[in-house]
Amino acid sequence: MASHTINGLSVKPILGDFGAEVSGVDWTQVPLPEDLIRTLIRIQDKYAVLIFRDTGLDNERHVAFSAQLGRLEVNPAWGGSERVGTPYLFDVSNIESDGSLVKKDTRRWHHALGNALWHTDSSFNQHRSKYSLLLAHAVPGTGQGNTEFADTRRAWKDIPAVEKPKLRGLVVEHELWHSRKLASPEEYEELTSEERNVKPPSYHRLVQQGSSGHETFFLAAHAKALFDDDGKRLADSQKMVWDLIAHCTQTKYTFTAEWISAGTLMWWDNRQSMHRASPYTEKMGARDLRRSTVIDDGPFAFGMPPKNCKSSN
């Protein structure tokens, strides 16, 4: 698909109608004019992942722009707001509060390993997120710390028609600690009391309607169990989950986005995509990324009531 212009913005598609680099926004204007916000949301609805280069954004304008898109999620205890200085930004970096790099085999290092699994942000919250906006303040170098994205809309479209009715009826139990245990089973064999109490599971339909109007998978490595309409847990839940993730993350549905320089902003719709980060390495330089998260305000925002689903604990 060729580059094109929408209301003065240049749009360069990446993988058909999934992902696009957008230029022409004057980020010094933040908060942006409402007509420009409407245009950006229109582009976002179509492409699900937008990339902006050389934005020059700082924390204040990053948060201000994000707040124009909806109510912001407040940073939880593990999100690192102490270093970045605001509760509205998650510290998605390999940098400690004293400026040193995160050391291998610390709790934070192991927690970050979960980010290298395919996921959607905050699917483990009963009130799920809509958008994530991740801004680079420092990048570690070419080929390090990239982010991959998967198109869950097209992946759903390509599912055989005979399989779709069953999948539409399934509810997914999402739990943060499930993905952390998958990524680092020994470290997360036992949870701290704070971890155990802070994040109960959430329940969301596996198949939903995205903002583009098309059906899409809502899936993540946080997916711990699948339930049918009667609330019965499927015995082969994990196999089904990872078979579906494998389907959604085939090469034809994915692309890799490079954090070329500070100022790069990636804005994705968690309801229409999955993503994963490159894992930390001991040779990686400073990777200072900060993420704002916009809470979903759509009809599926609060997921499913868990009353009919027996937790898989």
| CATH number for the domain harbouring residue 285 | 3.60.130.10
pLDDT tens profile 156-192: 999 999 999 999 999 999 999 889 888 888 887 887 7
pLDDT of 313 reads 53
What's the number of domains the chain is made of?
A: 1
- 249 belongs to a structural domain: yes
Residue 270 has φ and ψ, to the nearest 5°, of -65, -15
- 116 belongs to a structural domain: yes
The C-alpha atoms of residue 91 and residue 127 are separated, in whole angstroms, by 21
The answer to whether residue 290 scores a pLDDT higher than 60 is yes
- 135 belongs to a structural domain: yes
- 292 belongs to a structural domain: yes
pLDDT of 312 reads 53
Domain residues for the domain of 276 are 4-308
Q: Which residues sit opposite 132 in a β-bridge? A: 268, 293
- 313 belongs to a structural domain: no
pLDDT tens profile 198-256: 778 999 999 999 887 899 999 999 999 999 988 899 999 999 999 999 999 999 999 99
Global pTM reads: 0.94
pLDDT-based confidence at residue 140 (cuts at 50, 70, 90): confident
pLDDT-based confidence at residue 276 (cuts at 50, 70, 90): very high
pLDDT of 193 reads 74
pLDDT tens profile 63-113: 999 999 999 999 876 555 678 889 999 998 988 888 888 888 887 888 888
